[in-house]
């Protein structure tokens, strides 16, 4: 069945407008309300620190060890499903005191996530952040933040292996990486 060009143009405009409204969340609150889901409260997630736009720099500088960050949304069913893995990682690394395990609500602080990581394209999104000290030819040092993105299946053993491999590679690449 053939529709005229006017009907096709209007259809494309309506679909585009709906996609725009969903993306900017003007449609989700008015017509498609989302239930409030919650991951375990911070007090129940042993070894995991909740980052906010206000505290992330101070947490990072205060601990001065590599920081593993999970960007999540309480509305993301996959994030909720993988929360147990994140809790195990927090417990594991809090005993070793070599990695700081954190989480950041990318949905709640959508505008502020760019300061920490940039644009997050999928959730959950996992990064490992290291301090790298550069020494120039005048023996002046400067510290920069180096970020590695995790793009594999979210399993406890896989993340541990990835963190260890990333730390080993960063040690070999430069003797000045804080680990």
Selection from 12-21, 116-125, 127-136, 159-168 with the highest mean pLDDT: 159-168
Q: Where are the domains of the chain?
A: 1-33, 42-178
- The pTM assigned to this predicted structure is 0.67
Q: Is the pLDDT of residue 30 over 60?
A: no
- Separation CA 157–CA 136 (nearest Å): 38
Task: Please write the tens of the pLDDT for every residue from 32-79.
Answer: 444 444 455 444 678 899 988 888 888 888 888 899 999 888 888 888
Residue 164 has pLDDT above 90, yes or no: yes
Cβ-Cβ contacts under 8 Å for 20 (sequence gap 6 or more): none
Helix (H/G/I), strand (E/B), else coil: 30: helix
Give the CATH superfamily of 42-178.
Answer: Glutaredoxin (3.40.30.10)
The average pLDDT across 2-6 equals 67
Task: State the pLDDT at residue 161.
Answer: 94
| Beta-carbon count within 10 A of 9 CB | 11
Decide the pairing of beta strands 67-72 and 177-178.
unpaired
**Helix ranges, the chain (H):** 5-23, 26-30, 56-63, 77-81, 83-96, 113-116, 156-173
């Amino acid at each position: 069945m053939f529709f005229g060009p006017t009907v096709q143009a209007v259809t494309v405009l309506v679909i585009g407008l709906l996609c725009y409204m969903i993306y900017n969340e003007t449609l989700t609150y008015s017509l498609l309300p989302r239930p409030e889901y919650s991951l375990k409260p911070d007090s129940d997630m042993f070894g995991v620190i909740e980052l906010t736009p206000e505290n992330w720099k101070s947490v990072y500088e205060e601990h001065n060890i590599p920081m593993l960050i999970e960007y999540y949304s309480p509305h993301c069913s996959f994030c909720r499903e993988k929360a147990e893995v994140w809790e195990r990682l927090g417990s594991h690394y809090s005993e070793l005191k070599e990695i700081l395990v954190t989480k950041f609500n990318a949905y709640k602080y959508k505008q502020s996530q760019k300061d920490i990581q940039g644009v997050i394209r999928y959730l959950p999104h996992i990064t490992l952040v290291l301090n790298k000290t550069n020494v120039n030819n005048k023996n002046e040092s400067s510290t920069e933040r180096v970020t590695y993105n995790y793009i594999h299946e979210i399993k406890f053993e896989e993340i541990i292996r990835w963190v260890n491999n990333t730390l080993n590679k960063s040690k070999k690449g430069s003797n000045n990486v804080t680990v």
